[in-house]
């Protein structure tokens, strides 16, 4: 029994090691880093890497999924458990934009994979719940609609692209945008047209 479990555990460990190495390599050297270099940094052979990931897109998907699971999902759980709806909204916005800022290279490279819309679905549902909670409590302007939320994220992510260092500065524009979401600031908003259907809200 141990002998059959062993290779599987090894495989899982290898896959995880490759994902972490890819995450570090893309972060430091850019998303153009060849997979051979990722394999080297993970301490596995190139053949092993390709057994787990058929190409860079698959590796990018695995990296973004790992980031989301480790950084955003705990924030979602924490925010939903927060008795303060507004505080929960802030937690969730910080988690998403913070992840995009820290892992900007990977994030931009993964933008066109099918994964982002899937994760967006897992993110915007809870965010919408929290926004409604904050609105019901009078902590947030009442005229903000669910369809606005991906666009707010889009606005925040856009500031990363013009920053010399994406890890700096996003808190300033988040703070600015949060001021716009408070009921005290609210002037009537004109309607928005529909979003494009792809609409992962992340770029």
Binding residues for its own copies (CB under 8 A): 148, 150-151, 154-159, 161-165, 167-169, 171-173, 175-180, 182, 184-197, 199, 201, 203
Closer to its own copies by CB, 65 or 178: give it.
178
Angstrom distances, CA of residue 66 to CA of 20, 42, 195: 9, 16, 28
Coil/strand/helix, residue 67: helix
- For residue 153, the minimal CB distance to its own copies (Å) is 10
Among 79, 68, 70, which Cα is nearest to 202's? 68
The least distance separating its own copies from the CB of residue 96, rounded to whole angstroms, comes to 15
Residue with Cβ nearer its own copies (132 or 151): 151
> Smallest gap, in angstroms, from Cβ of residue 185 to its own copies?
3
Report, in Å, the least distance between residue 106 CB and its own copies.
19
> What are the backbone angles phi and psi of residue 191, rounded to the nearest 5°?
-70, 155
What is the Cα–Cα distance from 42 to 24, expressed in whole angstroms? 10
Judge contact between 199 and 117, C-beta under 8 A.
yes
Closer of 47 and 184 to its own copies (Cβ): 184
For its own copies, which is the closer residue by CB, 9 or 175? 175
């Amino acid at each position: 029994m141990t002998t059959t479990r062993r290779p599987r555990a090894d495989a899982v460990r290898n896959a995880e090691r490759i994902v972490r190495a890819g995450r570090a390599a893309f972060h430091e050297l850019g998303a153009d880093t060849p997979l051979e270099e990722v394999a080297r940094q993970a301490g596995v052979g190139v053949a092993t890497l390709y057994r787990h990931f058929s190409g860079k897109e698959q590796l990018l998907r695995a990296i973004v999924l790992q980031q989301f699971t480790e950084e955003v999902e705990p924030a979602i759980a924490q925010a939903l458990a927060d008795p303060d709806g507004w505080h929960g909204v802030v937690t969730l916005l910080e988690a998403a934009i913070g992840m995009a800022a820290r892992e900007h290279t990977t994030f931009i490279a993964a933008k066109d994979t099918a994964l982002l819309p899937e994760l967006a679905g897992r993110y915007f549902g809870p965010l919408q719940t929290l926004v409604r909670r904050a609105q019901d409590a009078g902590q947030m302007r009442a005229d903000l609609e669910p369809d606005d939320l991906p666009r707010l994220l889009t606005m925040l992510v856009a500031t990363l692209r013009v920053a010399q260092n994406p890890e700096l500065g996003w808190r300033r524009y988040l703070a600015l945008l949060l001021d716009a979401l408070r009921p005290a600031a609210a002037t009537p908003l004109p309607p928005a047209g529909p979003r494009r259907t792809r609409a992962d809200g992340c770029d």
